[in-house]
Structure 1
Amino acid sequence: MEFFEATRATFRAAIRSTCRPTVEGLENFPKEGPVIVAPNHQSFLDSIIVQALMPRKVAFFAKAEYFTAKGPKGMFSRWFFSSVGSIPVERGEQAASVAALQTALEVLERNEAFGIYPEGTRSRDGLLYRGRTGVGWLALTTGAPVLPVGLIGTDKLQPADSMRITPRHFTMKVGTPLYFDKVGPDHSLPARRAATDKIMDAIAELSGQERASTYNQTKSTE
């Protein structure tokens, strides 16, 4: 834990000194207990930003190949994603799949925070896409509060299809927690859909994005 916090503090200092972000609502993050952190998704760097700037550790999924690549680049990738608290997940295994959600469930059962992008993948056109119901499933199954997050301007840090990172100002708005009754894993699909839609409404209010009525599609190269 000391190593993780030291690494997180390093990234936090680097982000604050180079990007000078505006961060609002950190006081809304519950000081203890399980938390589902639900941001919009515009950049590859979003997870790192959330993990560095939040007051508690937040575990996100990351592609398994980031942990298994060979050579110096692979070693750095493995160290980097491990040090920021990422969890490896196999390519093609979306956050809404049963296996991935079970892993998320285990994190929450340890009274830790888990981050999930309801949109599923990055928005490449700036729209906020319809939320996939994995986040609703987690909320209703565990009763953990959902913390909506609006990220504004992170797409300018690393535009889609670019490997270049350019430090720029961005904003992270943390909303008030949303609470749902704990009904266990056997809740209905309409209940899951309703919970997800409520979460997306909160994210939209924070991010100010125009809404899309469709699901975002994962690009084959991601």
Structure 2
Amino acid sequence: MKFSIGGSLKLAFRPWVEGLEHIPAEGPAILASNHLSFSDSFFLPAVLDRKVTFIAKAEYFTSPGLKGKLTAAFFKGVGQLPVDRSGARGAGEAAIRSGIEVIERGELFGIYPEGTRSPDGRLYRGKPGGLARVALATGAPVIPVAMIDTEKIQPPGKVMPKLMRPGIRIGKPLDFSRYQGMDGDRFILRSVTDEVMYEIMKLSGQEYVDIYATAAKRQIAEAEKAAKAARTAGS
């Protein structure tokens, strides 16, 4: 199914790609990408010859009915791995364990260091838990990836995508093996994460914001709520 979905996406959207030579033909690697759209997890695997495993909400795999079964089959087909996110801390640990298992199988593991989609197209601070801990626990190289214009194809809240060409830039692998086994040191985790985010920023050309995307989303929601209250009061 991966190849049929990937072929359809490439035919319909014709994504351009730079840096494919940085993806190893075999062996494990972590693909660390910015996150602009729900469709990022589909476009990146579509342009690669190898399978990429991303983490997805377990609900995508357990919804009832025919629609639920079709959704589960689709996510499995594009290499998504279900993780129960019912508890924040437990979800993070489950994602890390899953990432390590993927790497230990010699496969490609995809992760979004920002932890959630960018609310405004800017690049936000990377969370030091998942990416850095998987990298330091396994010694696998980290390959920075920049998705370009995918937020214009399918903005948050929009169901139907717009037909246009997205882009993907793949950077040179980063070697953090010198820190292997130091995944319990929060300063090392922060340093590794920041280095990866800097490389993603160079590839994407995005403006960098040194706060977490989750905090930015809260600020935006609060501002919208305040603006709505002001309009209501003035009407």
TM-score (norm 2): 0.86
Partner of 2:210: 213
Which blocks of at least 5 consecutive residues in structure 2 are unaligned? 219-235
**CA 1:93/1:142 → structure 2, altered by over 3 Å: closer, same or farther?**
farther
1:67 Cα offset (Å): 0.5
Identity of aligned residues (%): 46
Partner of 2:32: 38
After TM superposition, the structure 1 = structure 2 runs for residues 9-28 of structure 1, keeping only pairs within 5 Å, are 9-28=3-22
Partner of 2:221: none
1:100 equivalent in alignment to 2:91 = no
Q: Which has the larger radius of gyration?
A: 2
Cα contact 1:136–1:195 (8 A) shared by 2: yes
1:78 equivalent in alignment to 2:78 = no
After TM superposition, the structure 1 = structure 2 runs for residues 66-215 of structure 1, keeping only pairs within 5 Å, are 66-92=60-86, 97-133=92-128, 134-181=130-177, 182-184=179-181, 186-215=183-212
Q: Which has the higher helix share?
A: 2
Q: Distance in 2 between matches of 1:141 and 1:184?
A: 5
Which blocks of at least 5 consecutive residues in structure 1 are unaligned? 1-6
**CA 1:93/1:148 → structure 2, altered by over 3 Å: closer, same or farther?**
farther
Q: Distance in 2 between matches of 1:19 and 1:154?
A: 11
2:161 counterpart SS class: coil
Cα contact 1:94–1:100 (8 A) shared by 2: no
2:61 counterpart SS class: helix
**CA 1:34/1:116 → structure 2, altered by over 3 Å: closer, same or farther?**
same
Q: Distance in 2 between matches of 1:25 and 1:198?
A: 19
Q: Distance in 2 between matches of 1:137 and 1:97?
A: 11
Q: Distance in 2 between matches of 1:217 and 1:93?
A: 16
Q: Distance in 2 between matches of 1:50 and 1:176?
A: 16
Q: Distance in 2 between matches of 1:94 and 1:211?
A: 25
**CA 1:138/1:186 → structure 2, altered by over 3 Å: closer, same or farther?**
closer
1:60 counterpart SS class: strand
1:99 Cα offset (Å): 2.1
1:186 Cα offset (Å): 4.6
Q: Distance in 2 between matches of 1:172 and 1:105?
A: 25
2:100 counterpart SS class: helix
Count of residue correspondences: 214
Q: Distance in 2 between matches of 1:124 and 1:151?
A: 15
Q: Distance in 1 between matches of 2:183 and 2:115?
A: 23
Cα contact 2:147–2:166 (8 A) shared by 1: yes
Cα contact 1:35–1:145 (8 A) shared by 2: yes
1:166 Cα offset (Å): 1.6
Q: Distance in 2 between matches of 1:36 and 1:113?
A: 6
1:61 counterpart SS class: strand
* Structure 2 letter corresponding to 1:164: M
Deviations 1:51-77 (A, max 9, x none): 221221110011111101111211110
Cα contact 2:34–2:123 (8 A) shared by 1: yes
